[in-house]
Amino acid sequence: MHKIMITTVLSMSLAAGVAHAQQSSWTGGDDLPTNPLACDGTPAEVAAMPYDGGTPTDAPDRMGKTLTVVDIPKLVGIGYFSATSKGIADAAAEMGTMDVKTDGPTRANIDDQITLIDNYITSGVDGILYAANDPVAIAPVLKKALAAGINVVGYDANSEPDSRQWFVNQAQFNGIAKSVIDNLSDEIGEDGAFAIVTSTFTTPNQARWIAEMAAYQQKCHPDMEWLETVEAQEDNILSFNQANTLINKYGPDLKGIVGMTSVATPAAADAVTQAGLCGSVAVVGLATPNAMKPYVEADCVKSVVLWNPVDLGYAAAYVLRATADGTLKPGDTSVEAGKLGELSVINGSEVLLGAPFVYNKSNINNFDF
């Protein structure tokens, strides 16, 4: 299966932080250090880091035994997490030693997610897979799972590292940042103005991408104008309305909209289409291919950045299996993940799915999810 991936590792320089502090409307990034990639595409060197994940207390010997696993994504009912759930289910069926169910909240709400995890700790499971709605708020309940001897692996959106064992990173944050900003600059020019539609300002992966985008944009495309970032809660109607508000608020000054979620990007493309602004307002962002095909085929969207969420879920299931078996241990540099082959361990306790991928009119029909 083709792997669609976006990647990059983000980190924020003091200078970039100060520059954006001067733009009072700029919001949405975190305050962690950033590491913008080279403008010319020179690969970054990745330094080895010690394991910084957590450890389950008195976990039983699960080597080769059938695991009872619950998958708790940010929310259910959207295409992206339906795809990750499919990947998890595919891996479980392939292994034959994992009974897994997906049970996430119906909205991207951290309190609902915490309640679900707590309930499964009480009912008893061998493993928990999760995509965090808030990296800090989710940490205590994940630590409770570790204390109960449960194996805990995150994917898509991380928690504090010591509250889980491993995190499967779909792409490095700074790689995603470079891909999005470079594609945006190709479409709106080096002095174009743009705005972002994200989920919430506290959603960990989106906040990381935005912080890295800010650092990379200041470094490599300093004349682009970042107008503002707005929240849309991963809600289709709110995402459409927010994009529409941006179009009306900035008028012809708005040259591009970046969607940070698989909901926001097609909603923004729909808003641009309905406003009759295809070709005048570019839409670049993260989304699943099927959601974007109508807009790409209509030439309203030229490029979308993404990884394959089916592969992401698949990899997470294999990492959990290796964790429970003890074949993935602190200090390891790689892990076997079925048909995906050998995946690298980075940043101490993260498993990297792969590099960024841009799909467009020439290749979008090669993918079906």
Judge if pTM exceeds 0.85.
no
Segment 338-348 shows an average pLDDT of 95
Going by pLDDT thresholds of 50, 70 and 90, the confidence category of residue 2 is very low
Structure tokens at 178: 């470079």
Q: Is 245 exposed, middle or buried (0-12, 13-18, 19+ CB in 10 A)?
A: middle
For residues 161 and 167, give the distance between their C-alpha atoms in angstroms, rounded to a whole number: 8
- pLDDT one-digit tens code per residue, 267-295: 999 999 999 999 999 999 999 899 999 99
pLDDT tens track for 36-51: 999 998 877 767 799 9
Mean pLDDT score of the chain? 91
- Percent of the chain past pLDDT 90, that is, above it, reads 83
Q: What are the chain's domains?
A: 14-38+172-305 (3.40.50.2300), 67-164+309-353 (3.40.50.2300)
Residue 326 backbone zone (phi > 0: left; psi -120 to 50: alpha; other: beta):
left
Distance CA 138, CA 136 (A): 6
Q: What angle do CA 104, 106, 110 make, to 5 degrees?
A: 70
Do residues 2 and 367 make contact, with C-beta atoms less than 8 angstroms apart?
A: yes
CA neighbor of 268 nearest in space, from 243, 236, 295, 293 = 243
Six token digits for residue 104:
């996430």
Percent above pLDDT 70 for the chain: 93
Tokens of 349: 């306790």
